[in-house]
Amino acid sequence: MVSLLGFGTSRFRPEDYATEAGREKLINLLVKAHCLGVNYFDTWHDYGNGQCEALLGHAFKRMQGDFYLATKSHNSQLDACETRKRLEASLRHLQVEKIHFYHLWCILHMDHFRAYTRKGGPYEGALRAKNEGLIDHICFSAHCDGKTIAKIASSGLFEGVMLGYNIINFKYREEGLRAAAKAGLGVAVMNPLGGGALPRNAQAFSFAVLDGETIADVALNFCAADATVSVTLSGMTNEKELESNINSVEKLEKFSEQRMEELKSKITEEFNFLCNGCRYCDNCPNDIDIPAYMLSYTNYILHEYNPRAFFEGIGNWRLSPHEPLPCSHCGQCEEKCSQHIPIRKHIDEINMLIEQREKYLREGLERCFGGKDGIKIGLYGAGAYAREMLAGYAEYKKMYGWNDVELIIFDSNPEKIGKTFSIHISHSPHIFHKPCIIHGPEDLSSEAIGRLIIASEDHYQAMHEMVSKYVRPELEIVNFTLGRQYKKLPQRE
């Protein structure tokens, strides 16, 4: 009775919640999904900082026809009465008379299961509510291994399960999926796109697609076409994503045994522990933005342990650490992590990367910008790499009190020559005394520069040979690299 594609609401953007227009956009998106055949909606009281349930309530009032609602309990520490109060609050916010699928939230291991089902605990509160008609089906949200899911599924206490399962981790999770189905439970699959990691890193997962396919289409089809999966949840934030996901599940082509075996041969254990951005690990007592660092570490893994991929990742979060992260190894984040990621070990590795980067970055910047007072410096290559280098210089200039330099920018691209080269850094002052006009390579001989920086990692040698035609032999030519000088850390066994 539920649609193959379910609507997960955990990915709505904060900026949409922040305005009336944004909230109306989300309500309309939910209603449109229902009009297009999506009838299963999954939420939780805490999504959107507590705003999501009310948003869904407004959407439900505009829907014509049946829909099915799934939500979750708060945590295993509540007693039956507290669970009942929270359930009643959800019913008010959602403006409904009952919850169709009520999940005991985020069971990570058997101790969690026992805490939920203890005498006077949340399960007892949910069972009373079911007997009163406030809940149709009691389910559980599983973030545990297959054997644990099998034990819980065979307990006879639940009618459904929601679990993380997708095309890059099924090798390690299908035991739980099959056990749940064998026990007669309805199965809702979450994170079929790995919290967005699959489409964001399509190249890393190219082994899973055939010619003409996209990883998003294949991943959604992979779950929806599985006969043991009742509904495949996807977090959607706009109409384009909604329509694309509907098109993906409409194809429904079950994978052959041969293709499944080929996939298994290429899936590594690391794929079972990738961050999906759920943010359950947030609120570090030492103010480390754990989700941002773990998502960036995922970027690092998926780019073959290239440190530059990690620093690009944290740069997207506007983070630029110059010292090791102050992790006390308390383990609080790991206790909450739905993916069982060894966060403390990752942070130790991240701190090694930071220390290594600081050493090489400062040495590189000093080599490029230091040494000779009053020297006029040329920079060849007016692109993103140069901006990244100059952003680093701006930060270090402020940190270490380095002097300003007179900088002249060169490039061989006719579309850039004569235009202004600028760099915008929100946390640093503009580093130039005057606008920098981009010069062509023929100006290298006429400008009295004392040093030339080649801002390229991949094409340094070719660019060096090209500029050599224009400069005097004694000109000092240096390069600044952001990646190759890093040593890749040993991969986890």
Residue 256 sits in the same domain as residue 134: yes
Q: Locate 272 and state its tokens.
A: 């079972």
Encode pLDDT of 254-278 as tens digits.
888 999 999 999 998 889 889 988 8
Q: Which amino acid, one-letter code, is at 262?
A: E
CATH code of the domain covering residue 114:
3.20.20.100
Boundary of a domain, candidates 363, 388, 418? 363
In whole angstroms, give the CA distance from residue 16 to residue 24.
Answer: 9
Q: What is the pLDDT of residue 484?
A: 44
Encode pLDDT of 423-433 as tens digits.
654 444 444 44
Residue 224 sits in the same domain as residue 357: no
Residue 308 sits in the same domain as residue 425: no
Residue 244 sits in the same domain as residue 319: no
Average pLDDT over residues 171-177: 89
Boundary of a domain, candidates 332, 363, 394? 363
Give the confidence band of 20 by pLDDT, cuts at 50, 70, 90. Answer: very high
Encode pLDDT of 213-222 as tens digits.
899 999 999 9
473 is a domain residue: yes
Residue 136 sits in the same domain as residue 14: yes
Please give the radius of gyration of the chain, using alpha carbons only, rounded to the nearest integer. 27
234 is a domain residue: yes
Residue 169 sits in the same domain as residue 314: no
Residue 321 sits in the same domain as residue 430: no
Q: CA nearest 94: which of 66, 57, 120?
A: 57
Q: What is the pLDDT of residue 481?
A: 66
Encode pLDDT of 34-82 as tens digits.
999 999 999 999 999 899 999 999 999 999 999 999 999 988 889 999 9
Question: How many structural domains are present in the chain?
Answer: 3
Which residue range forms the structural domain that includes residue 434?
371-479
422 is a domain residue: yes
Residue 321 sits in the same domain as residue 248: no
Residue with tokens 């930071």: 354
Residue 73 sits in the same domain as residue 129: yes
Residue 447 sits in the same domain as residue 383: yes
3-state secondary structure string, the chain? CCCCEEEECCCCCHHHHCCHHHHHHHHHHHHHHHHCCCCEEECCCCCCCCCHHHHHHHHHHHCCCCCEEEEECCCCCCCHHHHHHHHHHHHHHHCCCCEEEEEEEEECCHHHHHHHCCCCCHHHHHHHHHHCCCEEEEEEEECCCHHHHHHHHCCCCCCEEEEECCCCCHHHHHHHHHHHHHCCCEEEEECCCHHHHHHHCHHHHHHHCCCCCCHHHHHHHHHHCCCCCCEEEEECCCHHHHHHHHHHHHHCCCCCHHHHHHHHHHCCHHHHHCCCCCCCCCCCCCCCCHHHHHHHHHHHHHCCCCHHHHHHHHHHCCCCCCCCCCCCCCCHHHHHCCCCCCHHHHHHHHHHHHHHHHHHHHHHHHHHHCCCCCCEEEEECCCHHHHHHHHHHHHHHHHHCCCCCEEEEECCCCCCCCCEECCCCCCCCCCCCCCEEEECHHHHCCCCCCEEEECCCCCHHHHHHHHCCCCCCCCEEEECCCCCCCCCCCCCC
Average pLDDT over residues 77-96: 94
Residue 195 sits in the same domain as residue 149: yes
Residue 314 sits in the same domain as residue 406: no
